[in-house]
């Protein structure tokens, strides 16, 4: 399958929506892609921006169409077109809107932009498949729904001209306006194009019929389910349930033991689509059958070789709701399959396959010697390593995001629990807090703490028991050599500890001797200074007699003051002269 040209139910921004151009009234809704709304005079445009890079492929599209006109007279002038072209669809919505004037009709803007009423360029080259009404041909007033196909080297101006170009062999009457219509188009390498259609009336298939459950999707089991009108059903054990229609060939089953969504692949088979199963179960009618039954498909057209040129192919879907019918068209599934095993079929999309991978897959080499084989293996190994490193980092980023999201959810849960507790504690009748509710909450918190303590104690006991068991097992499995090595390591560790202890004691003793040595030196220096003081005489000058004042002459003086010969206090200090006795 080619994911860039396939989708199920709808398109999203993270699911290749950017690979498509949606314009006019076409939009991707939550559960479907709406091509045309339930409004008269509305156009729908959907073009693929990526090319199909193979000429051997098949696409299958499932749509539903509803006539909302007052007369319910069929599509009338409405149509749905499917286009395959060798050139890209060039379209600029802004330019189309800017060219609209006068009555402000979309058709006027398209015509000035160069688009035909079929919503594609008049220079279109390729294959077109049209779902419309015989009334649009202009030769009949009786409504008859038809599907037709043409090979165009220049698109006609309108639906009428288009239908007149189609041959009767490539036109079939098919009531395509049903809740589920499937179109399958097969393109072969020689350029030939064939198409088939299938419509299913689910009500007629289910009402009053019994279907067999195949849990492996193939082999019928003994369990059966019988569908009744008005959405009732019962299984072979007597359990009752309901069923209802879903968009796109789907029904929803609601039973006591089974709740799922089934998608019909044919009139005899429907598979379980939800919930997801590795091997989808199925319900079968008239025996096992894989895929669609050939009798359900109606062959519509068979265009000859060279109808589609070799090269890239672009896909487009357009439509018009009509002026009277107001046809609503929804697309539920598009599946494009590549049958050429030599090419990928489409360009690189989300980075899963790099261009180097595409080159390797597309190359058809024959390695004739060992050197070329070694080179190929080295290149492949390198690319696999890069691929693993890339997605390892991507996985790590996603893991971190999940952890962050889990933290946010935990915080949100705590806040919600607080709000819930506050809401339950408030009495709306008395407009006051309900003390009993608060008391119940406190009691609940106490119970929760006690319960958690018991759980934690139990887990700790388990951990301790596991540790003891692991220790016993390790001891039991140890060989004599291992035990000797363990004992040697233990003795070495003990010796290291003793050596460190002895080194610490020696360091302390050395430090003590150093302190004693410093103290002794200090004591010797002090004694020497006292000796020098005894051998030295300090003389102080007198400012009045210009003589020296000495203690032996009877002058009174203080160490911090200056005095004269008469004993008067001097305000300014004088020079101190030191004389040494010899």
Question: In CATH, what number is assigned to the domain containing residue 268?
Answer: 2.40.128.640
Instruction: Give the N- to C-terminal CA distance of the chain in Å, as an integer.
Output: 120
Residues 88 and 185 in one domain: yes
Instruction: Look at residue 178 and tell me if it is in a domain.
Output: yes
End position of a domain, from candidates 513, 530, 547? 530
Residues 124 and 46 in one domain: yes
Task: Specify the DSSP element, H or E, that contains 117.
Answer: none
**What averages of pLDDT result for each successive group of 10 residues across the chain (582 residues)?**
85 79 87 87 90 90 81 76 87 80 76 79 85 77 83 72 82 87 92 90 84 86 87 89 84 87 82 84 67 72 88 89 85 90 72 52 50 71 80 79 82 82 74 72 71 75 81 69 74 76 76 83 82 57 46 43 42 42 40
Residues 6+ positions from 444 with CB-CB distance below 8 Å: none
Instruction: Look at residue 169 and tell me if it is in a domain.
Output: yes
Asked if 243 contacts 233 with a C-beta cutoff of 8 angstroms, the reply is yes
The answer to whether the bond into 275 is cis (omega within 30° of 0) is yes
Residues 309 and 454 in one domain: no
CA distances from 478 to 461, 483, 490, 492, 526 (A): 26, 6, 16, 20, 70
Residues 23 and 139 in one domain: yes
Nearest CA among 166, 45, 65, 55 for reference residue 116: 45
Give the pair of three-digit tokens for residue 168.
Answer: 């009767």
Asked if 563 contacts 555 with a C-beta cutoff of 8 angstroms, the reply is yes
Instruction: Look at residue 352 and tell me if it is in a domain.
Output: no
Residues 6+ positions from 347 with CB-CB distance below 8 Å: 4, 50, 51, 53
Its domain, for residue 156, covers 3-192+304-338
Q: Compute the distance between CA of residue 510 and CA of residue 104 in angstroms, rounded to an integer.
A: 105
Residues 45 and 117 in one domain: yes
Instruction: Look at residue 413 and tell me if it is in a domain.
Output: no
Q: Compute the distance between CA of residue 407 and CA of residue 276 in angstroms, rounded to an integer.
A: 28
Residues 212 and 131 in one domain: no
Residues 328 and 276 in one domain: no
Q: Compute the distance between CA of residue 172 and CA of residue 193 in angstroms, rounded to an integer.
A: 16
- So what's the pLDDT on residue 359? 58
- So what's the pLDDT on residue 348? 60
- The pTM for the full model equals 0.56
Residues 176 and 88 in one domain: yes
Instruction: Look at residue 298 and tell me if it is in a domain.
Output: no
Give the pair of three-digit tokens for residue 552.
Answer: 């032996």
Instruction: Look at residue 119 and tell me if it is in a domain.
Output: yes
- So what's the pLDDT on residue 315? 92
The answer to whether the bond into 83 is cis (omega within 30° of 0) is no
Instruction: Look at residue 488 and tell me if it is in a domain.
Output: no
Residues 180 and 329 in one domain: yes
Residues 16 and 121 in one domain: yes
- So what's the pLDDT on residue 566? 44
Q: Compute the distance between CA of residue 196 and CA of residue 184 in angstroms, rounded to an integer.
A: 5
Instruction: Look at residue 358 and tell me if it is in a domain.
Output: no
Number of structural domains (the chain) is: 5
DSSP collapsed to 3 states, 308-336: CCCCCEEEEEEEECCCCCCCEEEEEEEEE
pLDDT digit string, tens, across residues 133-176: 887 776 666 778 899 998 877 766 667 777 778 888 888 989 88
Measured in degrees and rounded to the nearest 5, phi and psi for residue 350 equal -100, 10
Residues 247 and 266 in one domain: yes
For the domain that residue 142 is a member of, what is the CATH number?
2.60.120.200
Residue found under tokens 């929506």: 17
Nearest CA among 243, 239, 245 for reference residue 231: 243
Asked if 43 contacts 31 with a C-beta cutoff of 8 angstroms, the reply is no
Nearest CA among 107, 155, 100, 105 for reference residue 128: 155
Give the pair of three-digit tokens for residue 144.
Answer: 């008859």
DSSP per-residue string spanning 454-490: HHHHHHHHHHHHHHHHHHHHHHHH--HHHHHHHHHHH
Q: Compute the distance between CA of residue 315 and CA of residue 331 in angstroms, rounded to an integer.
A: 15
Q: Compute the distance between CA of residue 206 and CA of residue 480 in angstroms, rounded to an integer.
A: 77
pLDDT digit string, tens, across residues 387-438: 788 778 777 877 887 888 888 888 888 888 777 777 777 777 777 777 777 7
Neighbours of 390 (CB within 10 A): 13
Residues 163 and 258 in one domain: no
């Amino acid at each position: 399958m080619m994911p860039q040209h396939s989708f199920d139910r709808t398109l999203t921004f993270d699911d290749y929506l950017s690979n498509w151009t949606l314009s006019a009234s076409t939009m991707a809704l939550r559960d479907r892609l709406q091509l045309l709304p339930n409004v008269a005079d509305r156009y729908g445009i959907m073009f693929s921006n990526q090319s199909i890079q193979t000429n051997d492929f098949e696409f299958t599209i499932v749509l539903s169409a509803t006539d909302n006109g007052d007369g319910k007279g069929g599509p009338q002038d409405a149509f749905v077109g499917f286009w395959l072209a060798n050139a890209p669809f060039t379209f600029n919505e802004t330019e189309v809107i800017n060219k609209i004037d006068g009555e402000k009709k979309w058709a006027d803007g398209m015509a000035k932009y160069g688009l035909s009423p079929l919503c594609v360029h008049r220079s279109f080259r390729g294959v077109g498949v049209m779902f419309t009404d015989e009334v649009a041909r202009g030769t009949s007033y009786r409504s008859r729904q038809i599907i037709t196909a043409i090979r165009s080297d220049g698109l006609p101006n309108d639906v009428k001209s288009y239908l007149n170009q189609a041959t009767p062999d490539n036109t079939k009457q098919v009531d395509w306006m049903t809740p589920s219509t499937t179109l399958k188009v097969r393109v072969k390498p020689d350029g030939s194009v064939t198409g088939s259609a299938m419509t299913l009336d689910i009500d007629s298939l289910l009402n009053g019929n019994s279907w067999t459950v195949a849990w492996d999707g193939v082999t019928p089991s003994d369990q059966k389910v019988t569908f009744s009108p008005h959405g009732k059903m019962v299984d072979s054990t007597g359990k009752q349930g309901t069923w209802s229609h879903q968009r796109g060939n789907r029904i929803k089953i609601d039973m006591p033991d089974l709740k799922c969504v089934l998608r019909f692949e044919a009139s005899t088979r429907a598979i379980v689509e939800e919930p997801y199963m590795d091997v989808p179960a199925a319900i079968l009618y008239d025996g096992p059958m894989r895929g669609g039954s050939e009798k359900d498909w109606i062959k519509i057209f068979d265009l000859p070789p060279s109808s589609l040129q070799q090269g890239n192919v672009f896909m487009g879907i357009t439509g018009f709701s009509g002026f009277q019918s107001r046809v609503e068209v929804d697309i539920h599934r598009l599946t494009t399959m590549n049958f050429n095993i030599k090419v990928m079929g489409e360009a690189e999309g989300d980075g899963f396959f790099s261009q180097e991978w595409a080159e390797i897959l597309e190359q058809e080499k024959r390695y004739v010697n060992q050197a070329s084989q070694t080179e190929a293996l080295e290149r492949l190994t390198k690319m696999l390593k890069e691929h693993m490193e890339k997605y390892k980092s991507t996985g790590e980023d996603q893991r971190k995001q999940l952890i962050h999201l889990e933290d946010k959810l935990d915080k949100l849960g705590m806040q919600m629990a607080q709000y819930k507790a506050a809401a339950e504690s408030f009495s709306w009748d008395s407009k006051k807090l309900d003390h009993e509710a608060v008391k119940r909450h406190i009691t609940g918190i106490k119970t929760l703490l006690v319960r958690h303590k018991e759980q934690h104690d139990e887990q700790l006991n388990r951990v301790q028991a596991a540790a003891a068991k692991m220790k016993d097992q390790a001891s039991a499995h140890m060989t004599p050599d291992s035990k000797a090595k363990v004992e040697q390591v233990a003795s070495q560790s003990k010796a290291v500890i003793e050596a460190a202890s002895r080194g610490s004691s020696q360091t302390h003793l050395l430090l003590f001797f150093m302190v004693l040595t410093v103290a002794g030196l200090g004591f010797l220096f002090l004694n020497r200074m006292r000796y020098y003081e005894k051998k030295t005489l300090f003389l102080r000058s007198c400012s009045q007699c210009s003589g020296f004042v000495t203690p032996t002459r009877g002058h009174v003086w203080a160490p911090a003051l200056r005095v004269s010969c008469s004993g008067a206090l001097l305000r300014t200090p004088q020079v101190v002269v030191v004389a040494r006795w010899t």
